[in-house]
Structure 1
């Protein structure tokens, strides 16, 4: 009698609930339900449930097994909530949030289970619509960024191409008329435009984290100290530079040249923020980031070193900080900045496993901090003699050049031929391997990393070293195939030269490798 009274009481409570509610005995049979349950079950299954029916048997077979499992959990004493879609495909399949609880007698004995459901279909649909709208917004923002990027890129490259083409056209016209006086002016102007185009491309690759990095264990304090004179000359006498290097600063495994470019850009930005002069402080520090701090900086927990550049200038608004890393975004007057400096620094830091953060307030100056992961080991020693290398009297040594761009092969051929080398050219990896399989004497392999026809430069180099163990290899690349060249970890006797490079740099690198000075 006590059990029946309890179930009747539950039935009365159920009837006042606008959401479906149902009670079951220990055998999964329906013992009580409210009107909302009866109406909803009929809506989604076309059947009016009756007391005494085994509830899981009323569902489709695959759904019935799931329902039985939920009831067994509740009958074992567990209270829980599930979110799932239930219904018959011929009627309706709403999304339900269903609460399960054990049903107990007065003495605490479990005598059944209670199921209480809420139709959350509208809520789920609204969330899906919101997510879809947010994704559409993100895509629109991406397209806006792409438009801004391509517009800025086209503007800058059109200017540079005009400078190159115009000067070469005037040079050609003067030579045709036999006027050879003052032609160096046109050559220098065309070369200058070419160098600026190369710099722009490098900055774009840095922004997109696609630049070819050549990381080495680096003493960052020593690198900054070595740049001090250049930085002072660059920012001018109105801006005072102070360097505060942390004692015991950890080593960073980075591309030192790219870090130098980043620091130079940060100091130029700091100078421009202080038109009446001021103080620039470059400070290094060791940082150990825990989970919370790492999340704040979007970095994995661990050991990092920071390089922070602080100025006493005009500062940035929150809106400017939010857009500072966008390509071609700049607050400087037209013609006084490409808007790629900070985006390049951000790309370099992220590609190196680090991060960049800006801390600023209007009128209070700006601090830009570059975080780089610690390298467990000592920095590499650099040669004291920084004199440029020249190619001296090659004695018929043979170099194999593999590059699919005929113009580049011919340029390299011309430079190395004048230096006394014998050059063999190949347009792809397969052709290069055939040369290596022949009896030709080869002292050095120069190969592009990105090659057509299924074999990249690293694969050519690996095959070459199987055929000729210890063969020296110089990789040349205009794109960041970092995985192909070992992510900056090249084997002994391998070097990397990034396009576009000067012919003087190529000759120096080849001379260095031929003399046995490569790592």
Structure 2
């Protein structure tokens, strides 16, 4: 069941991609994520979803909207180290000319998705800089500082706006305002179940290297569902350290674009000095195929281009381990 709940999530969670907007019901999207959000935020956080009835549709890239909401929930969890309440609320909004000018929006009808927490809150000077790329209040090595800037870029590209309402010590509320879409929502296409993907043999271990915690978590979740052991790392240096250890690793699954000066290809090449037979699956955005080495792949190296379904990933992993 848990695997089935994740089948609709594609690995389109990348900051290197074009948007694919479709008419979407935000309430349905959030409902489909509730389990994932609960598992991500943990038992100390009480999740409440307040879904407005008669909510208008929006024209949006649904995978990016899922990523945005999940990132906001992770930020809210991190702001409540000793637990608290996380609320996701949707609503229809008419924004008049005066408010629109203040919010840097066109006047009109919008759908709001607000994520609020009872955490530490943000001082005005932090809130003012929160959308800057690489600005983070987390300790060194714990955050890329890209979460909110990516959400901001995606929402602005979709014709909307993001606003932060917060005071230090008073919790925070971050609202996404997305333009109302006047079309109809098509029923979603049927996505193959993860359960159809082949199962692991005993003890088989896959290492996942990606700097996006959401991506690592989703891939690890799928691997566990399919019976694999999973080791995770967030950059090339941490990945290489594990690859040079004694750990059993049957397959390396890595993003190509990694932070810290060593990309996925360089890490894999360095790891093969110690593990010459290491099998590698590179995950790339469409624009990165060249980075894998001008299209030159050594034997045992393979590529999957985002976005792809989880069932496809499961089958590919099984196929590579058995090859």
The answer to whether the 8 Å contact 2:134/2:146 transfers is yes
1:502 and 1:256, CA in 2 relative to 1: closer, same or farther beyond 3 A? closer
The answer to whether the 8 Å contact 1:217/1:378 transfers is yes
1:248 and 1:501, CA in 2 relative to 1: closer, same or farther beyond 3 A? closer
Which residue number in structure 2 is paired with residue 373 of structure 1?
179
Deviation at 1:336, TM superposition (A): 1.6
Alignment partner of 1:270 out of 52, 56, 76: 76
Which residue number in structure 2 is paired with residue 282 of structure 1?
88
1:350 and 1:240, CA in 2 relative to 1: closer, same or farther beyond 3 A? same
Alignment partner of 1:240 is 2:49 = no
Alignment partner of 1:218 is 2:24 = yes
Which residue number in structure 1 is paired with residue 294 of structure 2?
none
Number of matched residues? Answer: 203
CA distance in 2, matches of 1:502, 1:221: 22
Q: Deviations over 1:433-466 (max 9, x none)?
A: xxxxxxxxxxxxxxxxxxxxxxxxxxxxxxxxxx
Which residue number in structure 2 is paired with residue 361 of structure 1?
167
Which residue number in structure 1 is paired with residue 103 of structure 2?
297
Deviation at 1:257, TM superposition (A): 0.3
Alignment partner of 1:347 is 2:153 = yes
1:283 and 1:504, CA in 2 relative to 1: closer, same or farther beyond 3 A? closer
Alignment partner of 1:332 out of 124, 130, 138: 138
Alignment partner of 1:478 out of 263, 267, 287: 287
CA distance in 2, matches of 1:498, 1:297: 37
What secondary structure sits across from 1:357 in the alignment? strand
What root-mean-square deviation, in Å, do the aligned CA atoms of Structure 1 and Structure 2 show?
2.9
Q: Deviations over 1:361-420 (max 9, x none)?
A: 0110000000111110222212455425999xxxxxxxxxxxxxxxxxxxxxxxxxxxxx
Normalized against structure 1, the TM-score is what?
0.37
Deviation at 1:501, TM superposition (A): 5.8
Q: How does 1:108-119 map to 2 (within 5 A)?
A: none
CA distance in 2, matches of 1:334, 1:385: 39
Deviation at 1:337, TM superposition (A): 1.1
Structure 2 residue runs of 5 or longer lacking an equivalent are 1-10, 198-284, 289-303, 316-323
CA distance in 2, matches of 1:500, 1:250: 27
CA distance in 1, matches of 2:308, 2:29: 23
The answer to whether the 8 Å contact 1:328/1:339 transfers is yes
CA distance in 2, matches of 1:269, 1:344: 13
Q: Deviations over 1:217-269 (max 9, x none)?
A: 10110110010010000000000110000010000010100000000000000
Q: How does 1:112-131 map to 2 (within 5 A)?
A: none
Alignment partner of 2:60 out of 254, 262, 271: 254
What secondary structure sits across from 2:180 in the alignment? strand
Structure 1 residue runs of 5 or longer lacking an equivalent are 1-195, 206-210, 392-475, 480-496, 509-519
TM superposition outliers: structure 1 runs of 4+ over 6 Å: none
CA distance in 2, matches of 1:503, 1:231: 18
CA distance in 2, matches of 1:498, 1:287: 38
Deviation at 1:328, TM superposition (A): 1.0
Normalized against structure 2, the TM-score is what?
0.58
What secondary structure sits across from 1:375 in the alignment? coil
Which residue number in structure 2 is paired with residue 311 of structure 1?
117
What secondary structure sits across from 2:125 in the alignment? helix
CA distance in 1, matches of 2:128, 2:196: 47
1:245 and 1:315, CA in 2 relative to 1: closer, same or farther beyond 3 A? same
1:224 and 1:502, CA in 2 relative to 1: closer, same or farther beyond 3 A? closer
What secondary structure sits across from 1:335 in the alignment? coil
CA distance in 2, matches of 1:300, 1:348: 17
Which residue number in structure 2 is paired with residue 517 of structure 1?
none
What secondary structure sits across from 2:73 in the alignment? helix
Deviation at 1:294, TM superposition (A): 0.7
Q: How does 1:340-489 map to 2 (within 5 A)?
A: 340-383=146-189, 386-387=192-193, 477-478=286-287
What secondary structure sits across from 1:313 in the alignment? coil
CA distance in 2, matches of 1:338, 1:507: 28
1:293 and 1:386, CA in 2 relative to 1: closer, same or farther beyond 3 A? farther
The answer to whether the 8 Å contact 2:194/2:311 transfers is no
Deviation at 1:334, TM superposition (A): 1.6
Which one has more relative contact order, counting CA pairs under 8 Å at least 6 apart?
2
Q: Deviations over 1:10-62 (max 9, x none)?
A: xxxxxxxxxxxxxxxxxxxxxxxxxxxxxxxxxxxxxxxxxxxxxxxxxxxxx
